[in-house]
Amino acid sequence: MMKRRFMTTLMALVAAIAVAGSVQAKALMMATTTSTDNTGLLDYLAPEFTKDTGIELKWTSVGTGKALKLGMNCDVDVLLVHAPPAEKKYIKDGYAESRKEIMFNDFVIVGPEADPAKVKGMAVEEALAAIRTKGKTFVSRGDNSGTNKKEKLLWKAAGGPLPEKEAWYVQTGQGMLASLTITAERGGYTMTDRGTYIKYSHKNGGNPPLKVLVEGGAILKNQYSVLILNSSNCPDAQKELAEAFSAWMAGDKAQKLIADFRLLGMALFTPNAR
């Protein structure tokens, strides 16, 4: 009797270990941008992904530059990032096998309602040139994130070098929500993706101290894509799970979920899988 009870307990333990191993094997580790995390989008999508696929989605939220580095070092299985030129170079350099566009929003310049540089309604290049000329505080993430990469390109488009040595140019080295808070404290300007700005506005009761002053134009489009790592570079990356995630994100259900994700009645992202 005791032997039978011992064998039953042992079999149950073996089964539990097998189940645990199976669950662990179906966990996908992703590096992603702060905007997909800070806005709450991933918390909203992850349970639906798990329900449909049985795969647990885990993620680390960093700037796109750091996310690409994590993929390069094979520390994650898949990437969700927003710096198309860097992503295309990443594929060319052999670190990723494929890139699938999933959704987009846009970048905006925000600042105090008083607008000391008088940039409201300007094209983004004109606005940055005015901020530079008048020496008004501009807060940059300075973290090599997708937003920071785009900001650097825009300073160049505005006709001058990156003003990183100017006293009025402040680099936080932090994420977008933290940088927005610092910008408000300093009465300055910054560039943010619209999704994170809507989240920031929501956290401030719909009446944030920073207002959208500059928006619109193809140059401010902010595209998000899933990158699947190159298995020859990262043989232990869970490619099948990464492909399942990419396909799910591009599928009808996830695209509708993204379209329906709103705060203050506003969409934070627009699906555009192709």
For the chain, which domains are there?
A: 2-105+223-271 (3.40.190.10), 106-220 (3.40.190.10)
More confident residue, 20 or 60: 60
Band of residue 202 on the pLDDT scale cut at 50, 70, 90: very high
Please state the rounded mean pLDDT for residues 202-230.
97
Mean pLDDT value across residues 4-12? 46
Q: What is the mean pLDDT of the chain?
A: 92
Describe the crossing of helices 146-157 and 64-72 by its angle, rounded to 10 degrees: 120
User: What is the mean pLDDT of the segment spanning 260-269?
Assistant: 97
Q: How many CB atoms lie within 10 A of CB 45?
A: 19
Mean pLDDT across the stretch 236-259? 98
pLDDT of residue 9: 46
Classify the C-alpha dihedral 215-217-222-223 as positive or negative: positive
3-state secondary structure of 118: coil
Interaxial angle between packed helices 252-260 and 239-250, expressed in degrees from 0 to 180 and rounded to the nearest 10 = 60
**DSSP 8-state code for residue 272:** -
Residue 274 banded pLDDT, cuts 50, 70, 90:
confident
**pLDDT of 259 above 50:** yes
- Residue 110: strand pairing partners: 190, 212
Tell me how far apart the alpha carbons of residues 42 and 138 are, in angstroms, rounded to a whole number.
Answer: 29
Listed residue (150, 151, 175) closest to 164, CA to CA: 151
- Mean pLDDT of the region 82-88: 96
Q: Can you give the pTM of this predicted structure?
A: 0.87
